[in-house]
Amino acid sequence: MTAAEAVEAIQREMTAFARRARASAGRMHPELSLVSYTLLGHLEERGGCRATDLAAHYALDKSTVSRQVAALERAGLIERRVDPDDHRVQVLHLTGAGRQLLAQVTESRRAAFRERLADWPDEDLARFAGYLIRYNAWTPPGTTDA
Protein backbone atom coordinates (compact mmCIF):
# COMPACT_ATOMS: atom_id res chain seq x y z
CA MET A 1 0.00 0.00 0.00
CA THR A 2 1.45 3.36 -0.99
CA ALA A 3 1.13 6.35 1.30
CA ALA A 4 -1.47 7.87 -1.03
CA GLU A 5 -3.51 4.70 -1.02
CA ALA A 6 -3.28 4.54 2.73
CA VAL A 7 -4.56 8.09 3.11
CA GLU A 8 -7.36 7.21 0.74
CA ALA A 9 -8.26 4.13 2.77
CA ILE A 10 -8.12 6.05 6.04
CA GLN A 11 -10.48 8.63 4.63
CA ARG A 12 -12.88 6.01 3.34
CA GLU A 13 -12.89 3.96 6.51
CA MET A 14 -13.20 6.87 8.90
CA THR A 15 -16.11 8.15 6.83
CA ALA A 16 -17.76 4.75 6.87
CA PHE A 17 -17.34 4.56 10.59
CA ALA A 18 -18.75 8.02 11.17
CA ARG A 19 -21.76 7.19 9.03
CA ARG A 20 -22.70 4.23 11.18
CA ALA A 21 -21.77 5.48 14.60
CA ARG A 22 -24.76 7.58 15.48
CA ALA A 23 -27.34 5.13 14.26
CA SER A 24 -25.80 2.18 16.01
CA ALA A 25 -25.22 4.17 19.19
CA GLY A 26 -28.88 5.15 19.15
CA ARG A 27 -29.98 1.56 18.69
CA MET A 28 -27.70 0.29 21.44
CA HIS A 29 -28.80 2.81 24.05
CA PRO A 30 -32.09 4.47 23.30
CA GLU A 31 -32.03 6.05 26.72
CA LEU A 32 -28.79 7.96 26.19
CA SER A 33 -27.84 9.52 22.88
CA LEU A 34 -24.24 9.74 21.82
CA VAL A 35 -24.21 13.44 22.61
CA SER A 36 -25.77 12.99 26.02
CA TYR A 37 -23.37 10.19 26.76
CA THR A 38 -20.46 12.36 25.80
CA LEU A 39 -21.66 15.27 27.90
CA LEU A 40 -22.17 13.07 30.95
CA GLY A 41 -18.72 11.63 30.44
CA HIS A 42 -17.26 15.10 30.31
CA LEU A 43 -18.98 16.04 33.54
CA GLU A 44 -17.73 12.91 35.22
CA GLU A 45 -14.21 13.49 34.03
CA ARG A 46 -14.11 17.14 35.01
CA GLY A 47 -16.24 16.82 38.11
CA GLY A 48 -18.70 19.47 36.98
CA CYS A 49 -18.50 22.36 34.56
CA ARG A 50 -20.51 25.13 32.95
CA ALA A 51 -22.79 24.77 29.94
CA THR A 52 -20.64 27.26 28.06
CA ASP A 53 -17.59 25.07 28.58
CA LEU A 54 -19.42 22.10 27.10
CA ALA A 55 -20.48 24.17 24.11
CA ALA A 56 -16.95 25.38 23.49
CA HIS A 57 -15.39 21.97 23.94
CA TYR A 58 -17.73 20.16 21.56
CA ALA A 59 -18.25 23.01 19.10
CA LEU A 60 -21.97 23.06 19.79
CA ASP A 61 -24.20 26.08 19.94
CA LYS A 62 -25.02 27.19 23.44
CA SER A 63 -28.71 26.81 22.70
CA THR A 64 -28.14 23.18 21.78
CA VAL A 65 -26.29 22.56 24.99
CA SER A 66 -28.94 24.39 26.94
CA ARG A 67 -31.62 22.04 25.63
CA GLN A 68 -29.50 18.95 26.11
CA VAL A 69 -28.76 20.00 29.65
CA ALA A 70 -32.43 20.67 30.29
CA ALA A 71 -33.28 17.16 29.08
CA LEU A 72 -30.58 15.58 31.19
CA GLU A 73 -31.83 17.48 34.21
CA ARG A 74 -35.42 16.45 33.52
CA ALA A 75 -34.19 12.87 33.38
CA GLY A 76 -32.58 13.37 36.78
CA LEU A 77 -29.10 12.62 35.50
CA ILE A 78 -27.51 15.97 36.30
CA GLU A 79 -28.20 18.88 38.59
CA ARG A 80 -27.38 22.56 38.38
CA ARG A 81 -25.77 24.47 41.19
CA VAL A 82 -25.73 28.23 40.90
CA ASP A 83 -22.25 29.58 41.35
CA PRO A 84 -22.28 31.79 44.46
CA ASP A 85 -19.55 34.01 42.97
CA ASP A 86 -21.41 34.66 39.72
CA HIS A 87 -25.13 34.22 39.70
CA ARG A 88 -25.24 33.88 35.93
CA VAL A 89 -23.38 30.60 35.90
CA GLN A 90 -24.78 27.21 36.73
CA VAL A 91 -22.24 24.56 37.50
CA LEU A 92 -23.45 21.20 36.25
CA HIS A 93 -22.91 18.05 38.26
CA LEU A 94 -23.77 14.40 37.76
CA THR A 95 -26.37 13.04 40.15
CA GLY A 96 -26.11 9.55 41.59
CA ALA A 97 -28.51 8.31 38.95
CA GLY A 98 -26.46 10.01 36.25
CA ARG A 99 -23.26 8.46 37.46
CA GLN A 100 -24.94 5.08 37.58
CA LEU A 101 -26.44 5.25 34.09
CA LEU A 102 -23.17 6.53 32.68
CA ALA A 103 -21.30 3.62 34.23
CA GLN A 104 -23.85 1.18 32.89
CA VAL A 105 -23.76 2.50 29.33
CA THR A 106 -19.99 2.73 29.43
CA GLU A 107 -19.78 -0.89 30.50
CA SER A 108 -22.10 -2.06 27.77
CA ARG A 109 -20.24 -0.05 25.13
CA ARG A 110 -17.01 -1.44 26.43
CA ALA A 111 -18.36 -4.96 26.11
CA ALA A 112 -19.32 -4.31 22.49
CA PHE A 113 -15.85 -2.99 21.73
CA ARG A 114 -14.21 -5.89 23.50
CA GLU A 115 -16.20 -8.34 21.43
CA ARG A 116 -15.32 -6.53 18.27
CA LEU A 117 -11.65 -6.47 19.14
CA ALA A 118 -11.54 -9.89 20.75
CA ASP A 119 -9.21 -11.59 18.32
CA TRP A 120 -6.77 -8.74 17.83
CA PRO A 121 -3.26 -9.31 19.07
CA ASP A 122 -2.36 -7.05 21.99
CA GLU A 123 0.31 -5.36 20.00
CA ASP A 124 -2.12 -4.35 17.28
CA LEU A 125 -4.60 -3.03 19.83
CA ALA A 126 -1.97 -0.80 21.35
CA ARG A 127 -0.82 0.49 17.99
CA PHE A 128 -4.36 1.12 16.76
CA ALA A 129 -5.19 3.01 19.94
CA GLY A 130 -2.04 5.07 19.52
CA TYR A 131 -2.90 5.96 15.94
CA LEU A 132 -6.41 7.02 16.86
CA ILE A 133 -5.19 9.19 19.69
CA ARG A 134 -2.69 10.79 17.38
CA TYR A 135 -5.28 11.28 14.69
CA ASN A 136 -7.76 12.94 17.02
CA ALA A 137 -5.17 15.06 18.75
CA TRP A 138 -4.45 16.94 15.56
CA THR A 139 -5.69 20.52 15.45
CA PRO A 140 -5.81 22.78 12.40
CA PRO A 141 -2.80 25.06 12.06
CA GLY A 142 -3.32 28.42 13.70
CA THR A 143 -5.80 27.07 16.23
CA THR A 144 -5.23 27.90 19.85
CA ASP A 145 -6.15 24.65 21.49
CA ALA A 146 -8.37 24.90 24.58
Partner DNA sequence: ACTTCAAGTTGTACTATACAACCAGATCGG
Partner DNA sequence: CCGATCTGGTTGTATAGTACAACTTGAAGT
Name the binder of 130 from DNA, a copy of itself, none, CB < 5-8 A by kind. a copy of itself
Sheet with 78-82: strands ordered across = 49-50, 90-94, 78-82
126 binds, among DNA, a copy of itself, none (CB under 5 to 8 A by kind): a copy of itself
Rule CB under 7 A: choose which of 7, 10, 16, 23 binds DNA: 23
The phi, psi pair for 59, rounded to 5°, reads: 55, 45
Interacting residue ranges for a copy of itself, rule: CB under 8 A:
1-3, 5-11, 13-23, 25, 34-35, 37-38, 58-60, 109-110, 113-114, 116-117, 120, 122, 124-136, 138
Would you say 7 or 56 has its CB closer to DNA? 56
- Report helix angle 3-28 to 34-46, nearest 10: 90
**Per rule CB under 7 A, is residue 31 in the interface with DNA?**
no
Q: How far is CA 120 from CA 74, 127, 131, 133, in A?
A: 41, 11, 15, 18
